[in-house]
Amino acid sequence: MRSSVLSAFALVPLAYGLIAAAPPVDGPVDTLPQGRYHCSLPGDAGGKARVPVPALDFTIGNSSSYRTEDGSGVYLLRGKSLQFTRGPLKGKTFERTGENTVTLRNGGSEVGDVRCVRSNAR
């Protein structure tokens, strides 16, 4: 009995270490509104207001799924942080900047210039 109690206490720091090592949650898990998201870069005063980036366009479906012209996958939305976890956009991270708008992150936490806007309902 005594050795089992000591063994249980020996595991407490290990369990605490695993919990402390877990990545922080940016907010509650959520989903994006369904529909087609068109991505673009800002233009300039002498030309187009936005320059399309069709390689990043995606359509949000049911149950945290998305699809592109290259296939389908899954995303995770936690608070304002959007990460594509499987499929053609795997590894791309965006920040939700509005109800129907996300902005691509340029590595780390820096928000870039590519903005994707939902254009219509699914």
Token pair listed for 66: 């998305």
Confidence of residue 101 (pLDDT cuts 50, 70, 90): very high
User: How would you write 49-108 as a 3-class SS string?
Assistant: CEEECHHHCEEECCCCEEEECCEEEEEEEECCEEEEEECCCCCCEEEEEECCEEEEECCC
Instruction: Mark residue 89 as left, alpha or beta (left: phi above 0; alpha: psi -120 to 50; beta: remaining).
Output: alpha
The whole model's pTM is what?
Answer: 0.75
**CA 122/CA 94 separation, integer angstroms:** 21
Question: φ and ψ at 109, to 5 degrees?
Answer: -110, 5
> Looking at residue 121, what is its pLDDT?
54
**Tens digit of each residue's pLDDT (9 = 90 or more) over 48-80:** 889 999 999 999 999 999 999 999 999 999 999
